[in-house]
A = this chain, B = another copy of it.
Amino acid sequence: MIVAGATGFAGALAAHLLWRHPRFELTGVTGRSEVGRRLDDLYPRYRVPLEIEELDLDGFGALDAAVVSYPHAAAAPTVGALRARGARVVDLSADFRLADLSTYERWYGAHPRPELLSETAYGLTELHRAEIASANIVANPGCYPTASVLALAPLARAGLLADVVIDAKQGISGAGRTFDDTTHLSIAGENILPYNVAAHRHTPEIEEQLGLLGANLKVQFQAHLVPLDQGELASCYVTPTRTVAPAELSELYTGEYAHEPFVEVVDVPPGTRDVLATNFCRVFAAADPHTGKVIVLSAIDNLWKGTSSQAIQNLNLMFSFPETEGLL
């Protein structure tokens, strides 16, 4: 098992989780920068004592699995090369998240390896377990779609979504290990900053997944950066297709998630601190008698369930380990 692209926040956390995982053996970490430096020098708290290497696919010999944490478009060719060596891959980029090629091309341009889409499963674990277990490539979801789709799936399945507004807030780690105005503590601190207004790449991913659940609609999505490290809250405002009673709402959510090891349906509004550094998603749903709308609040750690620990959850499925292995 290797992590390709371990110098960013997502890859480094994936390496950390795999290093201490009881079943997987992490044999290498690669980076496009910081080559020769040890990962526990770059990220002391993750304590992974491996040296960052350049990605030399021949050098890895037989490889059963890999996590790829590259930017969009750079990921697909690497995923392809790893597949050619027989590795099963969890890809953290957007390259394989959209089943619809034309939607991908509208947002990201030409797809580098469209032929691989056919062996890909979408890695929102709770919704695609069977496909993930047998897939060669798992496209790990974005953190916003993870929180949003888990929040809305029960309503989508029940045909209750007439209109949806998603207001998402995320900590600064969501911007990754990039160094600019959005991540500088003296600029991002004591700030609440909306970004990408009326133009967010995560919308098609959410819409495609809701569509698979039977809800074909356009979603209003808006992201904000707030001054913390890890944490994400999706506040979803749903105009339902018909009146939804509190009891029905409660049954929908507990019915959907009663047996999920990592989704907690709660009866008080969730804070992101409740799920910090865990693979849990906390969901709370309420009907507002004043407006007739349904409010669903969904909290995750954007780097964990939103990215890297969900990758481990998927790898557990792919290799027939208990789904919670290494994650509790």
A residues near B (Cβ < 8 Å) are 9, 20, 44-45, 163, 165, 167, 169, 171-173, 177, 179-180, 183-195, 197-198, 203, 218-220, 222, 224, 226-233, 235, 237, 239, 269-278, 282, 284, 286-291, 293, 295, 297, 299, 328
Contact = CB atoms under 8 A, between A and B. Distances in A.
B192 A184 contact: no
Copy number in this complex?
A: 4
24 contacts: A165-B237, A167-B235, A172-B185, A172-B186, A179-B183, A183-B184, A183-B186, A185-B229, A189-B228, A190-B228, A190-B272, A191-B231, A191-B271, A191-B272, A191-B273, A193-B272, A194-B269, A194-B297, A198-B287, A218-B290, A219-B291, A220-B291, A224-B235, A226-B226
A211 to B, nearest CB: 15
Kindly list the 3 A-B residue pairs having the minimum CB-CB distance in the complex, ordered from nearest: A179-B179, A167-B167, A198-B288
A171 B187 CA distance: 12
A contact face: mostly helix, strand, loop, or mixed: mixed
A220 B163 CA distance: 13
A82 to B, nearest CB: 28
Nearest to A46: B274
A184 B277 CA distance: 19
Contacts of A226: 169, 192, 226-228
A194 B273 contact: no
A228 B184 contact: no
Contact of A192 (B172, B186, B272): B272
A292 B167 CA distance: 16
A45 B275 CA distance: 6
Contacts of A328: 20
Nearest to A172: B185
B271 A192 contact: yes
A286 B197 CA distance: 8
Nearest to A276: B45
Contacts of A180: 179
A286 B219 CA distance: 16
A9 B269 contact: no
Nearest to A217: B291
Contacts of A171: 186, 190, 192
B189 A231 contact: no
Given A190-B230, A197-B284, A220-B237, 9 more contacts: A163-B239, A190-B190, A191-B273, A192-B271, A192-B272, A197-B286, A198-B295, A218-B291, A227-B227
A188 B179 CA distance: 12
B277 A277 contact: yes
A218 B274 CA distance: 32
A269 B172 contact: no
B185 A269 contact: no
A237 to B, nearest CB: 5
Given A191-B271, A194-B235, A186 B222 contact: no
A268 B323 CA distance: 38
B184 A179 contact: yes
